[in-house]
Structure 1
Amino acid sequence: MPREHKDPRSPHQKIAADLRRLITRGDLTPGSKLPSTAELMEEHGGVANTTIQKALQMLKTEGLLEGLPGKGVFVRQHGQQPLEPMTFMTPAAPGEPYKWMTEATKRNQAGGSQLIEVEVVQPPLEVAKALGLEEGDHAVLRKQILTLDGEPTELTRSYYPLSLARNTAMMEKRRIRGGTPALLSEMGYPAREFIDELSSEIPTEEEVLALELPKDMPVLVAFRAVYSDGGFPIEVTLMTKAAHRHRMRYRMRVQ
């Protein structure tokens, strides 16, 4: 028997969670009209009108619903964006743009990136360990915001061993044609192995501001370590995405 546990959320949060799941999983399709307030009140055990309005407002703030005066409340045209990490792992070919841009174009979207910071830092402990750094060693941090159709979709913080990045374009605050994977490959450090750890976390203030997150919205954080020939670590990246806007898709073939 499972242990007894009570849902500590308020009624409007629980209703919003139910509706959110119907939207993100496709049971409520883009463009469809929600039942009336009276119908939603009855469906959810006779709750008050204000409870329903609070639930709907949460989902409007998240960008999942929109109200049209005199017509009702509708599911917006965009739900969760499925992303396949494998599609971004191969470096761009010489002269080609960053993979984020080309993959967005294939989906009829406009991909963009804004490089917001490049600095030499003492990396967080888990990053230092993954890069094989000694205590006191430094790394180069390149921080950027990725966008889809003009909306912030990912905060990316990439760390590179200072010994590897010194005197290269990675030290400069400018975008690199094809991205750093292409540059590293040209330098003789092709990516051979990726290890990803995916977690759902409460966002920091930096993540809330960068991704324009609504209140109480968790984020997906992918911690990726990249290794070149001989298991040599060349990069660690933390990729933070809004949980309500994305889902991760992994395609694996069993022999």
Structure 2
Amino acid sequence: MTVPKTEVDSLDRRSLHERIAADLRDEIMSGDLPPGANLPSTTQLKARFDASNATVQKALQLLKDEHLVIGRPGAAVTVREHRQRTMRPAAYMAPSKAGEPYRWLTEASKQGGQARSKLIEVAEVAPAADVSAALRLPEGGMALLRCQLLLINDEPVELVKSYYPLEIVRGTAMTERRKIKGGTPTLLNDLGFPPRLSVDRVSARIPTQEQYNALRLPSDLPVLRTLRVVYSDNERPIEATVMVKAGHLYEMQYEFMPE
């Protein structure tokens, strides 16, 4: 059933410029306004949304702050190139081959730009409840945390917090504050814990203060939060990772084969 426009308007308590930005953002993310395309003119947007010039400009400024569009006074506002990136988790979950970099870096670079990771923290911590449950830790149990920020062209892409059972990683290079050649999947495989199954739980959330700052978010737009649990032989959980990325800039792609 289609909800009457007046009823829709009464339910949406956002200011008009936020609603205009939301509609244009959706058209950008869905491809109706592809990279390089000009947005409708201010005159067209004023007529379409029954808005003042100032309101339209406020909406466009939101999209500029979100790095979705670019524009200068007197020139058309254009959708930025390479803004919406599609991430394919299946492409970088397997261990890297000997001598090769972490698969995420390789796959991200294929989309253009220079990908790199920045190690932020390595410590023994008490994880959040969902991570603790995923790793089957006892109440108050500790795990090894490796936190890193993934970047493309020095722009933050994803805040990654990976947790590991201490009995698996204690005394290994994983506990040291340095990058692991080939990534942690390679090291876990070498330790005798090959990844056999990965289970993702994806949700949209309002960013925490840490996520907001780390990802340099322009506003409290939702982030995509993925809790990935990796199992080895005998369904033993060997890693639980919380990955957070800007919801307006990235999407996840999964492939499934019919049974």
Q: TM-score range by the shorter chain?
A: over 0.9
Secondary structure class of the residue paired with 1:209? helix
1:207 aligns with 2:211: yes
Residue 143 of structure 1 contacts residue 157 of structure 1 at CA under 8 Å; is this kept in 2?
Answer: yes
Partner Cα separation in structure 2 for residue 216 and residue 156 of structure 1 = 19
Partner Cα separation in structure 1 for residue 246 and residue 143 of structure 2 = 26
1:14 aligns with 2:14: no
Report % sequence identity.
50
1:197-240: per-residue Cα shift (whole Å, max 9, x none)? 00000000000011000112110000011110001110000000
Normalised by the length of structure 1, the TM-score is 0.96
In the alignment, which residue of structure 1 is the partner of 2:92? Answer: 88
Aligned residues: 254
1:78 aligns with 2:82: yes
Normalised by the length of structure 2, the TM-score is 0.94
Q: CA deviation at 1:68?
A: 2.4
1:25 aligns with 2:30: yes
Q: CA deviation at 1:136?
A: 2.6
RMSD between aligned alpha carbons?
1.4
In the alignment, which residue of structure 2 is the partner of 1:35? Answer: 40
Aligned letter for 1:184? L
Secondary structure class of the residue paired with 1:68? coil
Structure 2: gaps (5+ residues):
none
1:174-196: per-residue Cα shift (whole Å, max 9, x none)? 00001111000000000001111
Structure 1: gaps (5+ residues):
none
In the alignment, which residue of structure 1 is the partner of 2:146? Answer: 142
Secondary structure class of the residue paired with 1:43? helix
Question: Is the deviation greater in 2-11 or in 236-245?
Answer: 2-11
Secondary structure class of the residue paired with 2:257? coil
Q: CA deviation at 1:2?
A: 8.1
Partner Cα separation in structure 2 for residue 124 and residue 107 of structure 1 = 33
Secondary structure class of the residue paired with 1:79? coil
In the alignment, which residue of structure 1 is the partner of 2:125? Answer: 121
Secondary structure class of the residue paired with 1:63? coil
Partner Cα separation in structure 2 for residue 149 and residue 120 of structure 1 = 31
Aligned letter for 2:245? K
Secondary structure class of the residue paired with 2:86? strand
Partner Cα separation in structure 1 for residue 65 and residue 112 of structure 2 = 25
Residue of structure 1 aligned with 2:49, choices 44, 61, 86: 44
Secondary structure class of the residue paired with 1:115? strand
Aligned letter for 1:12? H
Q: CA deviation at 1:61?
A: 0.1
Residue of structure 1 aligned with 2:232, choices 214, 228, 248: 228
Q: CA deviation at 1:106?
A: 2.6
Partner Cα separation in structure 2 for residue 24 and residue 153 of structure 1 = 17
Residue of structure 2 aligned with 1:163, choices 155, 163, 167: 167
Residue 12 of structure 1 contacts residue 51 of structure 1 at CA under 8 Å; is this kept in 2?
Answer: yes
Residue 113 of structure 1 contacts residue 144 of structure 1 at CA under 8 Å; is this kept in 2?
Answer: yes
Residue 82 of structure 1 contacts residue 246 of structure 1 at CA under 8 Å; is this kept in 2?
Answer: yes
Q: CA deviation at 1:78?
A: 2.3
1:132 aligns with 2:147: no
1:109-129: per-residue Cα shift (whole Å, max 9, x none)? 321100000011011111111
Partner Cα separation in structure 1 for residue 23 and residue 164 of structure 2 = 42
Question: Is the deviation greater in 156-165 or in 96-105?
Answer: 96-105
1:9-28: per-residue Cα shift (whole Å, max 9, x none)? 11111100110011111111
